[in-house]
Structure 1
Amino acid sequence: MKKLISVFFFVVFSVSAVAGHHAKDEHNDIVDTAASKDIFSTLVTAVKAADLVNTLKGDGPFTVFAPTDEAFAALPPGTIEMLLKPENKQTLVKILTYHVVAGKVTAKDVASLSDATTVEGSKVMVSANMNKVMINDASVIKADVMTSNGVIHVIDTVLLPNDVKAAL
């Protein structure tokens, strides 16, 4: 019985912590929410280098497919450092805006799409099957991180527009 009560309190505490954390994100914009998560330090650095902070702090709403630090680390060696150089800002902006869709697109909405037009101007392919959502070759590993100006879907791969992919 003691063990059952302990498990019950653990589950209630865990659910409360997650729910509270989720609700907190809804009061922060996309940039502040990403900056508060350890897994997005590379993304936040890139957004700053591309001068997109004010844009992503704007009214929106925006949907951001946010690659984790591990996703950025999987790029060819030296790619991140190269993209963060001021002379490559235009390419960095192109890559980052390829991760953004205008409007608030929740997981429920994403699951019914076959593609979405990004702020960069190109389309990303969307597929959903067996409780797995893919954006191009990236898996959505956490969906619906709600923010005050949109929603973040965490992905495991950096999305690259075709012309950038060919150049890397």
Structure 2
Amino acid sequence: MLSAGYLSAQNTSATINNQGMNPNFSIVENTQQSQTHKTLLAAMQGSDLEDLLRNDGPFTVFAPSDKAFSKMSSEKLTELLKSENKKDLTSLLTYHIIAGKISASKILKAMCQGNGVATYTTIQGKKIVATMKGTDIILTDALGHSAKITAADAEQCNGVMHLIDSVILPKQI
């Protein structure tokens, strides 16, 4: 569970789902090493974002785990990963990425300054909204669906990753 108290007590967490993330590796390299982000890796590879997330940055990635992707219907996910649907896949993945390195403590600070709400524009161009629910940071997508940050601040050489428990959507897919 992520909380304001937890964040103030921690400088950074290099672990997502008990898997060490090497801060000297890129977002792609750490995703390749992860046993719980195989679907995210396939999406990176299928959307032509692999080079961007390997070499450029800094970026903040809200990273859905395989479990988060499994909440989508298997037919929809299979269809999305087909090469002819690269445009929709790219739109979905870029909706999980913000330019710049934004730690969970920066998200909390922005929410405090924004009366409990912080809004971010993704590299896809649409906005996501961060709010608090109890002690959890919740992201709300363009359709009103929400995802909870379940692990925060996995440092990467080109940004930071936050694990989320659901896939967020820029539009209906």
TM-score category (smaller protein) = 0.7 to 0.9
TM-score (norm: length of structure 1): 0.81
Aligned residue pair count = 145
Query: What residue number does 1:32 align with?
Result: 29
What is the percent sequence identity of the aligned residues?
Answer: 36
- Tell me the amino acid that sits aligned with residue 150 of structure 2: I
Partner of 2:157: 148
1:52 aligned onto 2:49: yes
Map 1:1-168; keep pairs closer than 5 Å: 25-111=22-108, 112-113=110-111, 114-136=118-140, 137-162=146-171, 165=172, 168=173
Larger radius of gyration, structure 1 or 2? Answer: 1
State the distance in 2 between where 1:152 and 1:25 align: 12
- Alpha-carbon distance in 1 for matches of 2:87, 2:95: 12
Higher helix share: 1
Q: Post-superposition shift, 1:129? A: 4.2
Which stretch has the larger CA shift, 33-42 or 150-159?
33-42
Amino acid at match of 1:28: F
User: 1 CA distance for matches of 2:29 and 2:135?
Assistant: 29
Deviation at 1:58, TM superposition (A): 2.0
3-state SS, counterpart of residue 89 of structure 2: helix
Kindly state the Cα deviation for residue 77 of structure 1 after the two structures are TM-superposed: 3.0
Q: The residue matched to 2:160 in structure 1 has which SS?
A: strand
CA RMSD in angstroms, aligned pairs only:
1.6
| Secondary structure in 2 matching 1:127 | strand
Give the letter aligned to residue 84 of structure 1: L
Structure of higher RCO (CA pairs closer than 8 Å, 6+ residues apart): 2
Cα distance in 2 for partners of 1:59, 1:48 equals 15
Runs (4+) off by over 6 Å? none
Q: Structure 2-normalised TM-score?
A: 0.79
